[in-house]
Amino acid sequence: MDSVYEVLDLGELACMLTATLCVYHGARRSLENPFDAESADGPVQVTMQMAVLAPLVASLALLVVYFFFEYIQFFYICTCICILGWTLYLLLVPLADRLLPRKAWTAHTVDITLSQIGCGFLAVAALWQWVTTAHWLAQDLLAFSMCVYMLSFVRIPSLKVATMLFVGLLLYDVWWVFFSARVFESNVMVSAASKQATNPVNVISQHLALPTRQLPGLSLPGVLLFPSQRHPGRLSMLGLGDIFLPGLLVALNLRHEMATGRGGLLPHLTASAGTTPAWRSPFRLALGGYVLGLLVAMVMSHYTQHPQPALLYLVPATLLPTLYGASRAGQLADVWNGQSLLLDEDRRTHAATKA
């Protein structure tokens, strides 16, 4: 029997801790802005049609990266650099606002604060560090910020939509990890996730004939990376989809508990005194189930010596506790249809409009 140390690498545990923190913080950030169907600036709400089409769209995107990455890598990595810098900036600004004075300068009718300037410099510095060194820590910071932003910007309106989305992407994950090698020359999922893009600075320097040193290639920023303690030179990896998708359900549970005043983990944020017991809170159960699902996926990867589709473990580990917690609270039908969330979003939007 292997010891716990032999099964659980510190790099994998760091991935699990970072992913859990990302899910928790993303769920908290999802509380900030109500969804307004009439506004184009608010969060994106996943519809049933989107949930049905998600596995097909994800499969097409995966195949494009697998077959045509050599031709699209410059555009792809440059787009990622822009998105990563912007999302890191958006992650840092609310934190900096609490620490720095709110003095603002007006430039062309736009107010610019000290925190915005500081966060802009930090985002550019992190991007430069990643582009010039390809360091895993800089990539993780940027990937973390992108995932938190996505969790705050994309929302699932009901458990019914979440179930359709989860089942479809679970089948997608299992197919491309376990069975794609039987149709294609290699494991498509692993191959796409492990591709490296030519550094765009090298491409521009060569095109302009600039005398600069060669910079390392960049890993695709769709994964968290941590150095393995047992295998020096090797990196433990966790895809952002394995954080983002379960995080959507955790955020749904938190928003529902806020809407009904039944927060078990964050009672100081709830709207009323009546709270669900901590052990019965769907938010807490789903978050704990997410940690357990990640742990099982890592253990199975160790024993099978084969890449595992993490959603195979994360979907039941988060969906089943949510169903159990909602059923025990007598709110399964409400969570399934999202009625309380709809009423709460209407109330908050109306209040914001009046203000």
Tell me which residues are annotated as active site: 173, 242
* CA quadruple 46, 85, 246, 94: dihedral, nearest 10: -90
Question: What distances in angstroms separate CA 2 from CA 5, 55, 125, 202, 215, one per listed residue?
Answer: 8, 37, 43, 45, 41
Q: How far apart are CA 101 and CA 93, in angstroms?
A: 12
> Distance from CA of residue 90 to its chain's centroid?
15
Task: Provide long-range contacts, Cβ within 8 A and 24+ apart, for 258-267.
Answer: 258/31, 258/344, 259/340, 259/341, 259/343, 259/344, 260/331, 260/334, 260/340, 262/329, 262/331, 266/28
Q: b or e along 227-258 (b: 16 or more beta carbons within 10 Å of the residue's beta carbon)?
A: bbeeeeeebbbbbbbbbbbbbbbbbbbbbbbb
